[in-house]
């Protein structure tokens, strides 16, 4: 008879079993020295700023929660949201046009991206803010005739806030179209072909099949664009759109406390960017569930998990120790 049982693991007499060996990580002293030096430099910088009398922290505290600041924050937030909605909606349309087989649609979309992505945003904001110098009236009628259905003064329509919205939204549409186009092209063409074979129309295929799969590629850069848009709203202060930066400039133009007021603006922008990072991370995890690596954990979880594992309470170290003992008992 042939014995099919695997032979028991044996070790030379007097030597410990391999599962009983304690795994000790390599100690990188250079990394610890660099970390301590970085922390000391950071603490020194914070301490220097905290003790600097030229910052006038009393002025910062006075204006940090002032009504004028909250009015500017409200304008900044709605400008960010409205501009991103306009940019994303128009950008999606332009992306589809650039992927169209029609040379006219492709040419128009390419020209739009070329113009709005090729000129500085500050120039576009100033252009829309002073559009009345180019056209005194906005007319809707039959081209190349005197027939007019609607007429209004440009200054009455293009208020600073509307001009800022048009500049930010159209500029964002040029960048969003490239992001959406890259996301659409990342989807396997066989997905659309399979949908068409089932009788789905191209518009329905794009909305129900292609775009949901493209969101995995679109979400991360679009989240960055949203954060960038929040900061870019500060540029509309050149046309006095009454955003956060505009109101900050109005204040330090009167009290001459430039640095303290810029600190107020920086603190609020940092707080808003931090809050925007939370839904971005959630969306990235949601749309990346199918491709996220198994066992991935954040650096904090890995650090805590590694510390607990070395104590034998949880983590791989504890599990390996128990499994090693069980295997040793079975071999005996």
Up-side HSE of residue 253: CA atoms within 13 Å toward CB?
Answer: 6
pTM above 0.85, yes or no: no
Cβ contacts of 185-190, under 8 Å, gap ≥ 24: 185/99, 186/214, 186/216, 186/217, 187/213, 187/214
Q: How far is CA 196 from the centre of its chain?
A: 34
Distance, CA of 12 to CA of 132 (rounded, Å): 92
List Cβ neighbours of 78 (8 Å cut-off, separation of 6 or more): none
List Cβ neighbours of 147 (8 Å cut-off, separation of 6 or more): 141
CB atoms under 10 Å from CB of 9, counted, come to 13
Residue 15: the pLDDT is 62
pLDDT tens digits in sequence order for the chain, 332 residues long: 455 554 545 555 556 666 677 777 777 888 889 999 999 999 999 898 888 888 888 898 899 999 999 999 999 999 999 999 999 999 999 998 998 889 999 999 999 999 999 999 999 999 999 988 888 888 888 877 778 888 888 888 888 889 999 999 999 999 999 999 998 888 888 888 888 888 888 888 888 888 888 888 888 888 889 999 999 999 999 988 889 999 999 999 998 899 999 999 999 999 999 998 888 888 778 776 666 554 455 555 555 554 444 444 444 444 444 444 444 444 44
Residue 104: the pLDDT is 94
List Cβ neighbours of 127 (8 Å cut-off, separation of 6 or more): 167
Cβ-contact 257, 60 below 8 angstroms: no
Q: Give the pair of three-digit tokens for residue 301.
A: 């979880």
Residue 101: the pLDDT is 87
Cβ-contact 121, 232 below 8 angstroms: yes
Residue 86: the pLDDT is 95
What is the DSSP-derived secondary structure letter of residue 51?
T
Q: Give the pair of three-digit tokens for residue 306.
A: 């590694």
Residue 56: the pLDDT is 87
Strand partners, 139: 151
Phi/psi at 230 (nearest 5 deg)? -60, -40
Q: Give the pair of three-digit tokens for residue 66.
A: 């002032």
């Amino acid at each position: 008879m042939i014995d099919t049982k695997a032979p028991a693991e044996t070790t030379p007499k007097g030597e410990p079993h391999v599962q009983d060996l304690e795994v000790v990580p390599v100690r990188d002293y250079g990394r610890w020295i660099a970390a301590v030096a970085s922390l000391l430099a950071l603490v020194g910088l914070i301490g220097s700023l905290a003790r600097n009398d030229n910052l006038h922290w009393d002025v910062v505290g006075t204006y940090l929660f002032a009504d004028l600041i909250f009015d500017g924050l409200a304008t900044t937030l709605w400008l960010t949201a409205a501009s991103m909605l306009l940019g994303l909606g128009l950008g999606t349309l332009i992306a589809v046009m650039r992927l169209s087989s029609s040379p006219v649609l492709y040419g128009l979309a390419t020209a739009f991206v070329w113009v709005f992505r090729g000129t500085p945003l500050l120039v576009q904001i100033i252009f829309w803010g002073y559009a009345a110098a180019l056209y005194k009236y906005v007319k809707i009628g039959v081209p190349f005739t005197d027939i007019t259905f609607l007429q209004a003064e440009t200054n009455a329509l293009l208020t600073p806030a509307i001009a800022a919205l048009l500049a930010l939204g159209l500029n964002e549409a040029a960048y969003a179209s490239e992001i959406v186009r890259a996301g659409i092209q990342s989807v396997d063409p066989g997905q659309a072909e399979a949908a068409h074979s089932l009788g789905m129309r191209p518009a329905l295929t794009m909305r129900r099949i292609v775009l949901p799969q493209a969101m995995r590629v679109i979400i991360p850069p679009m989240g960055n664009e949203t954060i960038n848009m929040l900061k870019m709203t500060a540029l509309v202060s050149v046309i006095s759109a009454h955003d956060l930066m505009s109101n900050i400039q109005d204040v330090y133009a009167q009290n001459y406390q430039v640095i303290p007021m810029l600190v107020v603006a920086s603190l609020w922008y940092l707080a808003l960017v931090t809050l925007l990072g939370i839904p971005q991370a959630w969306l990235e995890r949601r749309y990346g569930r199918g491709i996220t690596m198994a066992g991935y954990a954040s650096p904090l979880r890995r650090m805590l998990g590694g510390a607990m594992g070395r104590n034998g309470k949880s983590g791989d170290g504890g599990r390996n120790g128990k499994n090693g003992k069980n295997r040793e008992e079975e071999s005996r």
